Amino acid sequence: MELFLQQLFNGIMFGSTYAIVALGLTLVMGILHIPNFAHGHLYMLGGYITYFFITNLGFGYWYSLLLSMVILGFVGVVMERIVFRPLTGQPPINAFIAAIGALIFLESLALVIWGPQGMRIPNPHPQIIKMFGITMEAQRLLVVGGAAVLIVLLHLFLKKTTTGTTIEAVAQNREGAMLTGINVNRVSSMTFFISSATAAVAASFLSPIFILSPAMGAVLGMKAFIIVILGGMGSVPGAILGGYFLGLIEALGGGYISAEYKDVFAFGALILVLSIKPTGLFGKQEG
Amino acid sequence: MKKLKHLSFILIAGLLALGLFSPNVYAKGHTVMIGFTGPLSGPAAQYGRDNVNGLEMGIQDINAAGGITVGGKNYKFALKTYDDHIDPTAAVNNARRLRSRDGARFIFNPVFNTIAPMMQINQQKGSEFLMMAYTSAPEVDAMKNPNTIAIPPPFSVYVGSYVKYALEKGWKKCAMVVTLGAYGDGWRKEFESAWIKAGGEIVADQPANYYTETDFSAQLSAALAKKPDFMLIGGPSATTGLVIEQARNLGFKGEFFMVDQAKLNYIAEVNFNNDLTKMNGVTGTARPRDLAEEEVIEPFLKRCLKDYGRSATSENLLNYGAIRILAAAMEKAGTVEDITAIKAAIPEVLPMDAKINLLPFIDLWGSRFILPGTIQKIENGQYTVPTTTFWWTKSDADFKKAVSSIPDIGNTNVNVPLEGYAK
């Protein structure tokens, strides 16, 4: 029983980060129809920016996290402006290739600036909490709680504010939104800002527990893609549930059966869901 | 279509021009080209870099000492490196390119997964090369490839030392959370059979991908539920550090043995900000400082820090030593091309002056350097006196002779003859 609870907690912790990273990705994919393969690498860059503020400038953890959010948000805006916007109206393959280019650029950039050596952000909350017979690191609890707060805030923003609803409007009908006077370009920039900022939060939450390296974004980026497809392209609840779902599958499957099959479970679930419901769990039929 | 043809023509012309004007290939004077293919990007990039850095320093020193003289001609060394992302196909292609285009007859590679396929092509007539294999996988020795030299001691040495230590402690239950891949699988299998043979028990075997994952709580929770006395862990250093930290946080009180890929001093530095109390009860291969006499090793450690901004690793040391030995063997054999003659000359130049090649390389055993394997434990926040294992000496007399042939640096010496290796 204790082992099960421990694995459950591990799964939820991982699911939380998957959920926020996938959330950022699904916004960009669903609204702008840009397959941003570089999303995982933005996440990596977010971790390094937080590292820079904490280690090189000596800022506090939360202050660095906020700065990292804002800075990475603007990196996202710049990326949208110079990489993806010029390709509007071009065949989708162009955006594909541009995204891969951006990915390689970001990884090489991190390699040049910070080098291949792993780096560590000092853990701001190293306390250990024991509850119900399971052991939790305070920072991991923070990840779970922080992710939940972020998801609620984002939901409120998208549903309850005028600015937020413009994002949904563009997602539903680009031309229609333009006709009602919504500045589509501004919405694009804003979406990229939010998407990158959430990636920065996820990276800042996780990097004190783990190690920063230029290659860390690749795996997470790929998993975020699985989740987005699993949950349904562009679906916010799909990304959240898909994230927790994948986290739990990995923890329980990996812990009980064998870690060697961890990816088998994750991709197996993807294939299974897609063969039953090709649009993903929460995907809407196109057209 | 016409446009496409045009484009491809330009592309081909461009590639040709690149090939013609690329540096290194047409360096002036006589050059011995050393090749390297290995991970220089991606998750294992640092590991690849550490190997290259050792080679670079060795080559700098060879050239600073005036190069080598063979057949009345003076040769300088040069290094050409290619990235293979641990992809066997890329490694083989790189090796072919290094041999045919760059003229490298000595090719270094630091990963067993890529070394094995390279050993399939290093005997092809007219394009032979000496495979300089930086791997402790004992499979390399079983392949009996004459054009190969494996640099570090086989990991069986550490398996033997760990089993001996665990028996002395009276431990019974072992849990393994070791990296996936040919190297990690080899370690797990060998340790498992040795430990069971010694009367121990493997209560959990939860391998994990140390290259792509950073959270091991799923594997560790499952392993710790079986209440092991000690754990065998390891893969790349930084992730191994995470495993130690996560296992401790999950309440594990026992000791750790690390596979030889993970480095104590690297983990202390990167993961724990040099707070050794966080690594109490961890045993692994000894830190570089304790592998040679102080006056020999200190300048080298300082140099690594100055030139590369990081502490020395055994990859630096061993590759450095290997390239210095190669240079000496070329002079001895009187050729820079005949790899068979050069390999045959290696036992004649060993052991070398410790000032030149730092570590006590003693001889060549088949296709592997004979070099003692040294393990070390961290206890009470300090590095303890390391244990140096002599694995090729059968009799006590041999052992005593071998011990006296290397500089005494205060380590504990033990004789653990390795099946199939002892002479």
Show the domains of chain A with their CATH numbers. Answer: 2-276 (1.10.3470)
Residue B45 and residue A10: Cβ atoms within 8 Å?
no
Comparing CA positions, the residue from B127, B119, B72, B122 lying closest to residue B101 is B127
The sign of the torsion formed by the CA atoms of A186, A29, A261, A217 equals: negative
Q: Min CA distance, B124 vs chain A (Å)?
A: 35
Q: Do A10 and B215 touch (CB under 8 A)?
A: yes
Tens-place pLDDT, residues B307-359:
998 889 999 999 999 999 999 999 999 999 999 999 999 999 988 888 888 89
C-alpha A161/C-alpha B290 separation (Å) is 64
**What pairs with residue B28 in β-bridges?**
none
Considering only CA atoms, which of B334, B332, B390 is closest in space to residue B362?
B390
Q: Cβ separation of B215 and A14 shorter than 8 Å? A: yes
Chain B neighbors of A215, CB-CB under 8 A: 41-43, 45
Tens of pLDDT, residue by residue over B158-179, are 999 999 999 999 999 999 999 9
Better pLDDT: A162 or A3: A162
Separation in Å, CA of B11 to nearest CA in chain A: 19
Helices and strands: H and E segment counts in chain A? 11, 2
The type of residue at A152 is V
The answer to whether residues B343 and B329 touch, using CB atoms and an 8 Å cutoff, is yes
Q: Which residues in chain A have their CB less than 8 angstroms from residue B43's CB?
A: 213, 215
Does the pLDDT at position B18 exceed 60?
Answer: no
- Per the omega criterion (within 30 degrees of 0), is the bond before A91 cis? no
Cβ atoms of residues B376 and B285 within 8 Å:
yes
Angle at A229 between CA A226 and CA A232, to 5 degrees: 145
Among residues A44, A64, A69, A43, the alpha carbon closest in space to that of A153 is found at A69
| Percent of chain B topping pLDDT 90 | 64
- The angle formed by the CA atoms of residues B148, B152 and B156, to the nearest 5 degrees, is 105
The reply to whether residue B273 touches residue A122, judged by beta carbons under 8 angstroms, is yes
Residue pair B222/B169 in contact (Cβ under 8 Å)? The answer is no
Residue from the list A10, A218, A250 with its beta carbon closest to the beta carbon of B221:
A10
Q: Which residues of B touch A259 (CB under 8 A)?
A: 206-209, 218-219
Contact B157, B365 (CB under 8 A): no
User: Could you tell me if A280 and A231 are in contact, meaning their C-beta atoms sit under 8 angstroms apart?
Assistant: yes
Residues 6+ apart with CB under 8 A from B419: none
Distance of alpha carbon B297 from alpha carbon B288, whole angstroms: 8
Comparing CA positions, the residue from A68, A88, A79, A60 lying closest to residue A184 is A88
CB < 8 Å to A217, chain B: none
Q: Report, as an integer, the average pLDDT of B5-27.
A: 50
Compute the Cα dihedral for B402, B408, B409, B414 and give only its sign.
positive
What domains lie within chain B, and their CATH numbers?
26-153+301-370 (3.40.50.2300), 156-259 (3.40.50.2300)
The CA distance from B385 to B411, in Å, is 6
Q: Does B46 contact A260 at a Cβ distance shorter than 8 Å?
A: no
Q: Name the band, by pLDDT with cuts 50, 70 and 90, for residue A285.
A: low
What pLDDT sits at residue A15? 92
The beta-carbon neighbor of B270 closest among A108, A117, A128 is A117
Rounded to a whole number, what is the distance in Å from the CA of B305 to chain A's nearest CA? 14
What pLDDT score was predicted for residue B19?
Answer: 47
Q: Which two tokens stand for residue B12?
A: 């081909």
Mean pLDDT of chain A: 88
Q: Please, are residues B292 and B298 in contact by the beta-carbon 8 Å criterion?
A: no
- Tokens 């804003």 locate to A190
Mean pLDDT of B85-96: 94
What is the pLDDT confidence band of residue B24, given thresholds at 50, 70 and 90?
Answer: very low
Judged by CB atoms closer than 8 Å, whether chains meet at B218 and A215 is answered as no
Cβ(B37)–Cβ(B107) below 8 Å:
yes
Helix (H, G, I), strand (E, B) or coil at B174: strand
Among the listed residues B338, B345, B335, the one whose alpha carbon sits nearest the alpha carbon of residue B68: B335
| B134 in Cβ contact with B108 (< 8 Å) | yes
Residue in chain B nearest A115 by alpha carbon? B46
Task: Return the higher-pLDDT residue of B293 and B17.
Answer: B293
**For chain B, how big is the Rg over CA atoms in Å?**
22
CB contact residues (below 8 A), chain B span 167-206, against chain A: 180, 206
DSSP H or E run through B194: helix B182-197
Predicted pLDDT at A122: 85
- Contacts A117 to B, Cβ<8 Å: 46, 238, 270, 310
Helix A184-206, helix A138-160: angle, nearest 10: 170
Mean pLDDT for chain B? 89
Cα A82 to Cα B402: distance, rounded to the nearest angstrom: 66
Residues B238, A260: C-beta atoms closer than 8 Å: no
Percentage with pLDDT > 70 across chain A:
98
Which of B42, B219, B249 has the CB atom closest to A259's CB atom? B219
CB contact under 8 A, A216 and B241: no
Nearest to A210 among B237, B242, B273 (CB): B242
Q: Does B305 touch chain A (CB under 8 A)?
A: no
Which of B214, B218, B310 is closest, CB to CB, to A251?
B218
Return the number of other C-beta atoms located less than 10 Å from residue A115's C-beta. Answer: 17
The beta-carbon neighbor of A219 closest among B212, B237, B241 is: B212
- The pLDDT of residue B6: 61
Looking at residue A259, its pLDDT comes to 67
Q: What distance in Å separates the CA atoms of residue A178 and residue B221, rounded to the nearest whole number?
A: 53
| Span B188-224, pLDDT tens digits | 999 999 999 999 999 999 898 888 788 888 889 889 9
Say how far apart CA B340 and CA B90 lie, in whole Å. 26
Q: H or E element: which one contains B257?
A: strand B255-258
pLDDT of residue A268: 84
- The larger pLDDT score, comparing residue A96 to residue A64, is at A64
User: What per-residue confidence (pLDDT) applies to A276?
Assistant: 87
